[in-house]
């Protein structure tokens, strides 16, 4: 979204990032005056897809995202979890190779968050997209990821990289396994180092 001060960011060797990366922030940012179908279709319309075709594609992906039958609803008429699914459907429908998800479940209650994690893993396994998922929740990071980058305090640097070798699919019970606990302990050791340096 911003040009780097130095170096470059590339996706598959291309530095023209706009249009190749889908982005979803913590807030769903659905437009309250648009029906759900038109919110989900927005990325396609912006990229030049004719509106009727984009709406048809939105209806199709909404079925996959558990939102079938809600196309004519406004964002204010659905739950927070459904709003997040609609925002994620919009990001997936944009057709990008790389999805940047910035704490997309951070504002949800714990039960809805766990449901959304399971749902995202299912949808992702059907997709060819690469996902960069930002979270402050260590359990969420390990459960969802193939690789976790633990960042230090500012200025942020990569404190450690953890390859997550847990088998997929990963039901919630995965978090109770010994291997999950080992991976979590490794991540927390790097995070606690930063906390200990700050002091009481």
CATH number at residue 126: 3.40.50.300
Does residue 7 lie within any of the structural domains?
A: no
Lowest average pLDDT, out of 28-42, 95-109, 148-162, goes to 95-109
Query: Per-residue confidence at 198, pLDDT binned at 50, 70, 90?
Result: very low
- Which residues span the domain enclosing 176? 137-200
14: DSSP letter: B
Do 150 and 162 meet the contact criterion of CB atoms below 8 Å apart?
Answer: yes
Task: Please check whether residue 107 lies inside any domain of the structure.
Answer: yes
Average pLDDT of every residue of the chain: 85
What pLDDT shows up at residue 125? 81
124 and 191 in a single domain? The answer is no
151 lies in a domain? Answer: yes
Does residue 185 form part of some domain? yes
Question: 125 near 95, Cβ under 8 Å?
Answer: no
Query: Within a domain: residue 25?
Result: yes
The count of structural domains within the chain is 2
Question: Is a pLDDT exceeding 70 seen at residue 200?
Answer: no
Same-domain pairing of 49 and 147: no
* Distance in angstroms (rounded) separating the CA atoms of residues 10 and 60: 31
- Residue-wise pLDDT for 51-77, tens only, equals 999 999 999 989 888 899 999 999 999
Tell me whether residue 8 is in a domain.
Answer: no
């Amino acid at each position: 979204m911003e040009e780097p001060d130095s170096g470059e960011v590339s996706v598959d060797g291309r530095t023209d990032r706009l249009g190749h990366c889908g982005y979803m922030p913590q807030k769903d940012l659905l437009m309250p005056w648009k029906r759900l179908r038109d919110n989900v279709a927005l990325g396609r319309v912006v990229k030049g897809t004719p509106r009727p075709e984009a709406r048809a594609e939105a209806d199709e992906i909404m079925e996959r995202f558990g939102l079938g039958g809600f196309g004519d609803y406004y964002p204010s008429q659905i739950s927070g979890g459904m709003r997040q699914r609609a925002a994620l459907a919009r990001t997936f429908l944009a057709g990008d190779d790389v999805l940047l998800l910035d704490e997309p479940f951070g504002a949800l209650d714990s039960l809805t968050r766990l449901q959304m994690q399971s749902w995202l893993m299912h949808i992702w396994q059907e997709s060819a997209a690469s996902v960069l998922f930002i979270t402050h929740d260590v359990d969420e990071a390990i459960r969802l990821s193939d690789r976790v980058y633990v960042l230090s305090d500012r200025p942020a640097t990569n404190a450690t990289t953890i390859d997550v070798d847990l088998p997929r699919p990963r039901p919630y019970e995965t978090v109770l396994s010994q291997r999950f606990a080992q991976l979590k302990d490794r991540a927390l050791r790097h995070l606690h180092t930063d906390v200990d340096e700050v002091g009481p």
